[in-house]
Amino acid sequence: MIRAAVVGATGYAGAELVRLLSGHPDVKLTMLTSRQFAGTSFAALYPSFNGRVDLVCQANDPDLIAENADVVFLALPHKVSMTLAPELISAGCRVVDLSADFRFHNRHAYEAHYQPHTCPDLLSEAVYGLTEVYGEDTKNARLIGNPGCYPTSVLLPLIPLVKENLIDPATLIADCKSGVSGAGREATAATHFCQVNESFKAYKVDGHRHTPEMEEKLSDAAGRPVRITFVPHLVPITRGMQSTLYAGLMPGTHAAQIRECLTDFYEGKPFVRLLPEKQWPDALSVRGSNFCDIAWFVDPDRGRVTLLSAIDNLVKGASGQAVQNMNRMFGFAETAGLSMVPWPL
């Protein structure tokens, strides 16, 4: 059993980490922190945990965290993570960071869309935790930059095809739809029930910070610069993310090659389910689980392939993928603590 701390436990990704780690066979949850709720019982904030988790939130003291934990999950806003990570790493902790602070290889790309980076050395050491793609690198990683939810849902279907040069990288479009939990726990006009319920809309059409994250990883896969048009939408559901991806077929690409490429790539990867023909991924069917469901349709008449994916934005899109990365870092079974069946309804 290793000891785990969740820093920023009271946000939605944090609470989901507590849920997953509290049922993990190889982990003992030793410490939860919260700037806003230090001193408050975690179960008082999230009554679901009554009788299951009796930890009290503590302040973000890096020394105390390092003393109590072998692995630390940072479920913090961007910028805050990079102030805490170096000290935890120095103290010998392994760190999985759920913010954007360690997702980029290219410091300039990060700084163009976020802020100046205060520990570029760690940035270049950090491994991008898209486990199915960068899994080999995660094994010895001290620091994981856990992917954004949108990039996870977009990159898993696209990267194999981009790598194999089956689709035209100049034609990529990602139309993505997210449940409201993706907006976080803060109460704002945009998350008010009456604004969201019976609503459906796009947002940040003119630019979202997940675009450069996608573009860096797609370029990495293609071996040359790749751009993508990405439009996020808000769905009136709590959990779930569905992405519909459009790509022009490279001349000569056949449906069978698409199938073979995806099948080969995901062979033996336990959290990607390639759906049977004519079944389309539904956010409902992956809720609460670490699955990414993928399907596609090749339309030779229009020269395009449409790829579809569904994940739970809080699990495979955040906390579940973080646990999956921890499993690899510590040599546990990749599915340890993540084998739950999604609710049938």
The Cα–Cα gap between 114 and 117 comes to: 9
| Sequential DSSP letters for 131-151 | HHHHHHHHTT-SEEEPPPHHH
The residue within the footprint of a second copy, chosen from 5, 6, 16, 141 (CB under 8 A), is: 16
Contacts of 88 (CB under 8 A, 6+ apart): 62, 65, 66, 72, 95
Site string for a second copy, 117-156 (x = CB under 8 A): ----------------------------------------
132 to 110, 221, 249, 316: CA distances (angstroms): 23, 13, 23, 11
Question: Which residues 278-337 are close enough to bind a second copy by CB under 8 A?
Answer: 278-289, 291, 293, 295, 297, 299, 301-302, 304, 306, 308, 310, 314
Question: Which residues 50-79 are close enough to bind a second copy by CB under 8 A?
Answer: 50-53
Size of the site for a second copy (CB under 8 A): 90
Residue 263 C-beta: closest distance to a second copy, Å: 14
Q: What is the dihedral of CA 68, 74, 80, 82, to 10 degrees?
A: 90
- Other Cβ atoms within 10 Å of 110 Cβ, number: 26
**For a second copy, which stretch binds (CB under 8 A), given 98-106, 118-126, 136-144, 242-250?**
242-250
Question: Which residues 159-218 are close enough to bind a second copy by CB under 8 A?
Answer: 173, 175, 177, 179-181, 185, 187-189, 191-203, 205-206
Residue 64 C-beta: closest distance to a second copy, Å: 24
The Cα–Cα gap between 45 and 48 comes to: 9
Residue 79 C-beta: closest distance to a second copy, Å: 23
Residue 167 C-beta: closest distance to a second copy, Å: 14
The Cα–Cα gap between 107 and 83 comes to: 16
Specify whether 149 is catalytic.
yes
**Which among 93, 119, 149, 292 is annotated as catalytic?**
149
